[in-house]
Structure formats: C-alpha cells, structure tokens
Structure 1
Amino acid sequence: MNAAQAAAYLDRIGAAPPASPTVAALRELHLRHLRTVPFENLSVHLGEEIVLTEERLLDKVVGARRGGFCYELNGAFGALLTALGFGVALLAARVYGEEGRLGIPYDHLALRVRTGDGGDWLADVGFGALSHFPLAFREREEQVEPGGTFRIVPADPDAAGVRGAGAGAGAEGVDLDVVRDGRRQYRLESRPRALGDFVSGAWWHSTSPASHFMRSLVCSRLTEDGGRITLGGRTLTTTGPDGTREVEELGSDEEVLAVYRDRFGIAPGCVPTVRNPLGSG
C-alpha cells in the first residue's frame, strides 16, 4: 500500500494519520473502522467475486466504499496497519458454532498487531460483533471493555473434538480460545499466515450451501453511541449500548435501498436477495 492509498483509507474511516504506531493510535483506528466500514456479505448474493489480494480489497473497501466479511475487512485493515508502521500477522481461526462445534479450517481471519510502544494486540474488525478495541494478546485475565468481558485462554483440549495445544499459551503454534461474556467465540492459531491461505475459506463461505453466509443477508456496523445497527434482508435492527433493541420491517425496495445508502454508505444497484435461503444445493 502506497502513501496515497493509505491516505485514502484513513479518509474512508475518518481518521488522521497517526504520528507513530502506538497502542492509542491502534485503538482509535480500530474503533473508527468498526463505526464506518460495515460487516456485510452482499457480494455473496450479488454474484460478485471475492478476491483476496491487497489491491482488490482496497478497491472494494476504499474505492467502492463497501464493507465485507472477515477476510476482506481484516485483510484490508491489516494492510493499512502495516503501511502505518505496525507489525501485523494474519491469524487463522475456527469459529464456535452450534453445540460448541468448531467450523472449518481458515474459518475466520484475525490480526495480531505489535505496536511501537510495546505489546501484542488481537485486532478484529471483521467478526460482526466483538470487542470495540484491540485485546491484549498475552493477557489471560478478564479484559472488560464496551463490547463485553473478554478472555484469551489456552484452548480446551476436549472442546469441540479438536486437540488443544497444551502449555505455553502465546507461543507460536499454540491454539487459544477467545471468550466473550463466558462464551467461546473462536479458536485462534498463533502461527502467522499469508492472505492467500484464506482463499479456500472465503470460497467455502461464499459458495457452500452449509455456509450461513449463503443462507442470510447481513449488513451491520457499530454506532457512535456504542450500539449497533443491522440490516438483515428487510429487517432493520437497532441495538442500543444498553442492549435494548428496536426492530422494523421495511416494506418497499426504496426503503431498503435508503437504509443501505443513508445508514451504511452503500449503494447497491438493486435490493440484494438471498441466493440459497433453505441451505439446499
């Protein structure tokens, strides 16, 4: 990413160029990204190809002012952080689903970020709803922040039928579980990966009838007051910072397109519809 591309990205999220790659700068960038770049899977249902290269991600997130899902959002954000002088490693994770079962390999992409003033941080702007700020990667006690109470703990060797990594949490190759409010969210590998390693995961999530991204539409972002706004098909849900929810069913196509435009900054050419609503082939 060159200087002009980095400047355009910062403008996209409404951030000033940080003077240095500090923890404070990372927190600011993380929060602004969550507020301005929506988590969305519209490409899956609009027939748009998902290409995991830096240039294509920048074209989508910055040039087209779109959002994306984890591979796109964290892939693009990681490229920005690298350009700004942070040390960035792409990490693979498997998401806990129904009955505590783990998803496919390369199910999720998260970031391990090293700041210039010391410390490693788990940054994730592509999980939908998670922490508002980066989490201290090596901290094993509770981390309380606006998104909930979090812990990063050694993976349970008996959980989900997948062998854990044993002692030495935080070392290369050791699996860790990210826990939010007492519930395991995903199992994280500590080994760094390349963006191209996630192509198979992105392909599965955008084509498999078993993928929840194929069975539903979502467009969601953090709001300025710490709540969340989510458009799922024609259902608009506004969640306050205290957890209260307001649900509105949108009627006309014009109403749906107006919400995409006015609340998410997205202008799809038509109202997206779910390609595979029943999860069948």
Structure 2
Amino acid sequence: MNPTQVDAYLSRLGVQHPAWPTVEVLRELHLRHLRTVPFENLSVHLGEEIVLEEKRLVDKVVGAGRGGFCYELNGAFGALLGALGFDVTLLAGRVYGDEGRLGIPYDHLALRVRTVDGGEWLADVGFGAHSHYPLEFGARGEQEDPGGSFRIVAAGPDAAGVRSGGVAERKGGGGGEDLDVLMGGKSQYRLEVRPRVLGDFVAGAWWHSTSPASHFTQSLVCSKVTEDGGRITLSGRTFKVTTADGEREERELGTDEEVLSVYRERFGIELGRVPVVRDAGQDG
C-alpha cells in the first residue's frame, strides 16, 4: 500500500496515523474496523468478482466503501497493518460446523500480528460476531472481551475423531501445533500456524462464493459492531439491532428503497439495486 492508500484507509476508520505499531494502536484499529467496515457477502449475490489481490481488496474496502467476508476483510486489514509497521502473518483456518465437524481447507483467513512493544496477537475482523479486540496469541486461559469469553487452545480431535490431516498439517508445516479458537466454550475455528499468502486462499474464496453447500451462497448478510458494543445486521430484508446487553429488535423492510436506505445510512454502502439470493453457480 502506498501512503495515499494508507491515509484513505485510516480516514475511513476515523483514526489518526499512528506513530508506532503498538498493541494499543492495534486494539484501536481492530475495534474501529469492526465498527466501520461491514462483514458482508453482497458480492456473491450481485455477481461481483472476488479477487484476492491486495490492490483489489483495498480498492473495494477503501475506494468503494464496501465490506466483505474473511478473505477480503482480513486481507485488506493485514495489508494496512503491514504498511503501518506491524509484523503480520496470514493464517489459514477451518471453521467448525454442524456436529463439530471442520469445514474445507482454507475455510477462513486470520492474522497473527506482532507489535513493537512485545507480544503476539490474533487479529480477526472477518468472522462476523467475534472478539472486539485482538486476542493474545500465546495465552491459553480465558480472555474476556466485549464480544464474549475466548480461549486459544491446542487443537483436539474434531467430531470425526481426527486431530488433523497429517503431521505437516498438525504441526502447521512451520513448527507448533494447530490451535482451536473457542468462544463461550464452543470451538469456532481451527488455525494452522504455518504462514500463508493471499493466493493460498483463492480456492476457498471460490468455493464459498459458488458452492451450494456454502452458507454464503444460501443467504445475504451485512453486519457490523455498533458504537455502544452491540450489532446491527441486515439479512435480506430483515433488519436486526442487538444491544450490548443482548436485547434484540428486528423488523421487516417492505420496499426496495427502505432496504437501500438501510445499506446506505446504517452501513455506508451505496448500491444501485437490492441484492437477492441467487442460485449458486449462476452467472452474474
């Protein structure tokens, strides 16, 4: 990223250019990202190409004022952090699904971030409802966060009784065991600690944007954290507001203009038409 892109990205997040890549700066950027850049899969249903290249991701998040799903959000955020002097490593994850079974390889992209004042952190602005702040990567106890209680632990067997696919995978191919990330005592996803590059996730992004088995092709979602620690979500025509205390209010939006207005005013996304769920594999 060039300095102009960095400044534009920081301007969207509403933060000043930091002097040093410290943990406090990382925490602020992480929270501001969750409050500003929506987790959304609209491109899947608008027929827009998803390209995992740094320039294209930054153009979408900064230039077009959009959000994205994990590959896009954490890919763009990782590029910003790297440009600000953080030591960033892309990590591949597999999300736990029904009955505790793991999803496809390269199911999820998360970030391992080192700061100048010491410590390593799991940063993830692309998993929907998750931690508001980065999690301490090496800690194995409970980590309390406004988003819930989290733990990072050595990976156990999945529902099929399989710990990992082999020695190279179990050890991450680069030293260290795979890790499970838990929220409220429930496994969310499994991380390999082997460093990856954006290109490694192309097949996963393609599968999630085309396969009938992917939950991203089955429904529409646009969601972000609110300033008071709650969350707003637009799923199709259902608009939900959840407070930090867990109280939920939802309403159905009747007209296309109401839907477009919520995208515009609550998520900052300008759309020319209302996205609708399309058949997986359908041409854009």
Q: TM-score, normalised by structure 2?
A: 0.94
Is 2:99–2:159's contact at 8 Å kept on the other side of the alignment?
A: no
Structure 1: runs of 5+ lacking an equivalent: none
**What SS does structure 2 have at the residue aligned with 1:5?**
helix
Distance 2:54 2:271 in 1: 22
Cα drift, residue 162 of structure 1: 2.9
Distance 2:137 2:96 in 1: 19
Q: Counterparts of 1:95-244 in structure 2 under 5 Å?
A: 95-164=95-164, 172-244=175-247
Q: Which moved more, 1:236-245 or 1:152-161?
A: 152-161
Which amino acid in structure 1 is aligned with residue 127 of structure 2? Answer: F
The verdict on how the C-alpha distance between 1:168 and 1:95 changes in structure 2, with shifts beyond 3 A counting, is closer
**What SS does structure 1 have at the residue aligned with 2:91?**
strand
Partner of 1:78: 78
Distance 1:240 1:72 in 2: 27
Which amino acid in structure 2 is aligned with residue 55 of structure 1? Answer: K
The verdict on how the C-alpha distance between 1:167 and 1:128 changes in structure 2, with shifts beyond 3 A counting, is closer
Which amino acid in structure 1 is aligned with residue 144 of structure 2? Answer: V
Which deviations, in whole Å up to 9, do the C-alpha atoms of 1:214-248 show, x marking residues without a partner? 00000000000000000000000000000110010
Distance 1:221 1:139 in 2: 27
RMSD, aligned α-carbons: 1.8
**What SS does structure 1 have at the residue aligned with 2:249?**
strand
Which deviations, in whole Å up to 9, do the C-alpha atoms of 1:34-75 show, x marking residues without a partner? 000000000000000000000000110000000000000000
Structure 2: runs of 5+ lacking an equivalent: none
Which deviations, in whole Å up to 9, do the C-alpha atoms of 1:181-218 show, x marking residues without a partner? 01100001101100000000000000001110000000
Which deviations, in whole Å up to 9, do the C-alpha atoms of 1:224-274 show, x marking residues without a partner? 000000000000000000011001010000100000000000011100000
Distance 1:232 1:162 in 2: 34
The verdict on how the C-alpha distance between 1:10 and 1:248 changes in structure 2, with shifts beyond 3 A counting, is same
Which amino acid in structure 2 is aligned with residue 51 of structure 1? Answer: V
Distance 1:59 1:27 in 2: 24
Distance 2:223 2:70 in 1: 13
Distance 2:129 2:106 in 1: 19
Distance 2:141 2:106 in 1: 26
Q: Which moved more, 1:226-235 or 1:12-21?
A: 12-21
Q: Percent identity?
A: 74
Is 2:52–2:199's contact at 8 Å kept on the other side of the alignment?
A: yes
Which amino acid in structure 2 is aligned with residue 127 of structure 1? Answer: F
Cα drift, residue 174 of structure 1: 1.7
Is 2:61–2:76's contact at 8 Å kept on the other side of the alignment?
A: yes
**What SS does structure 2 have at the residue aligned with 1:106?**
coil
Q: TM-score, normalised by structure 1?
A: 0.95
